[in-house]
């Protein structure tokens, strides 16, 4: 039996969604973030040494990292579903987006989150300096990087119905989290193709079922 070790408001939501899309039997073990630090609880380290989510266990197998989990589930249980045919051009696109989501798009989104909250975490007397540093990094590095990436994604979504072609695949599942994160910070209002993509995935029955099972998920506006 597959067990999803599910952390609230985390990347594990998209793994839960994938399990629903594949209609696989599974169970959920819930974990909650520390309300002050927003970090995962130490109990997750008993599952995987890094103590992060998502992570699944499947018999004696433990898998972490969203992309690796997706590939594992598709290879073992997918039976050709939710991925393009081997050797096709769409397969190349599928592989690209599967890795682009975390390798390229998420880093500036994480930096945006860090530098937006950093000044509030500093002692009061150095908060103004921290705010100046934070705004400098945001304006010169983070926002330009986000714009380039979101413009790129917007343009790519103008070429096909889904990220890997005309059919919905697990690449769309993988891309959901960073685009939902961008949307929650006001980064997609002027990008109709990304907005349309988010609306489509939010209407999928498996997505809605995963929300019901996974509990509150603040990335969905």
CA distance linking residue 204 with residue 200, whole number of Å: 7
Confidence tier at 9 by pLDDT (50, 70, 90): confident
Sorting pLDDT into bands at 50, 70 and 90, what band is 80?
Answer: very high
pLDDT class of 109 with cuts at 50, 70, 90? very high
pTM: 0.92
Give me the mean pLDDT over the 61-77 stretch.
97
Q: What is the pLDDT of residue 36?
A: 77
Q: Which of 1-15, 104-118, 205-219 has the lowest mean pLDDT?
A: 104-118
Mean pLDDT of the chain: 91
What is the model's pLDDT at position 119?
Answer: 62
Instruction: Give the pair of three-digit tokens for residue 94.
Output: 């599928």
Quickly count: other Cβ atoms within 10 Å of residue 218's Cβ.
9
- pLDDT digit string (tens) for 126-172? 777 667 767 777 788 888 999 999 999 999 999 999 999 999 999 99
- Contact partners, residue 220, CB within 8 Å, separation at least 6: 180, 202, 211
The token pair at 190 is: 């002027």
Torsion angle of the four alpha carbons 58, 62, 63, 69, in this order, in degrees rounded to the nearest 10: 0
Say how far apart CA 214 and CA 208 lie, in whole Å. Answer: 10
Q: CA 104, 185, 133 angle in degrees (round to 5)?
A: 75
Identify whether the C-beta of residue 44 lies closer than 8 Å to the C-beta of residue 5: yes
24: left (phi over 0), alpha (psi -120 to 50) or beta: beta
């Amino acid at each position: 039996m597959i067990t999803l070790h599910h952390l609230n408001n985390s990347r594990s939501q998209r793994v839960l969604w994938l399990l629903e899309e594949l209609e696989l039997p599974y169970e959920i073990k819930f974990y909650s973030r520390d309300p002050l630090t927003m970090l995962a609880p130490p109990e997750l380290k008993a599952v995987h040494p890094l103590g992060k989510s998502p992570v699944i266990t499947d018999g004696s197998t433990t898998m972490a990292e969203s992309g690796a989990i997706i590939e594992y589930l598709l290879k073992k249980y997918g039976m050709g579903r939710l991925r393009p045919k081997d050797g096709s051009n769409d397969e190349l696109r599928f592989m690209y987006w599967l890795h682009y989501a975390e390798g390229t798009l998420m880093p500036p989104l994480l930096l945006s989150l860090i530098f937006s909250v950093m000044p509030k975490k500093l002692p009061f007397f150095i908060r103004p300096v921290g705010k100046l540093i934070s705004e400098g990094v945001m304006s010169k590095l983070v926002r330009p990087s986000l714009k380039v990436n979101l413009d790129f994604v917007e343009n790519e979504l103008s070429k096909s119905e889904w990220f890997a072609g005309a059919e919905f695949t697990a690449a769309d599942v993988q891309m959901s989290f960073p685009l939902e994160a961008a949307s929650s910070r006001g980064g997609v209002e002027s990008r109709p193709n990304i907005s349309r993509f988010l609306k489509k995935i939010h209407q999928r029955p498996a997505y809605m079922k995963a929300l019901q099972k996974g509990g509150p998920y603040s990335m969905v506006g």
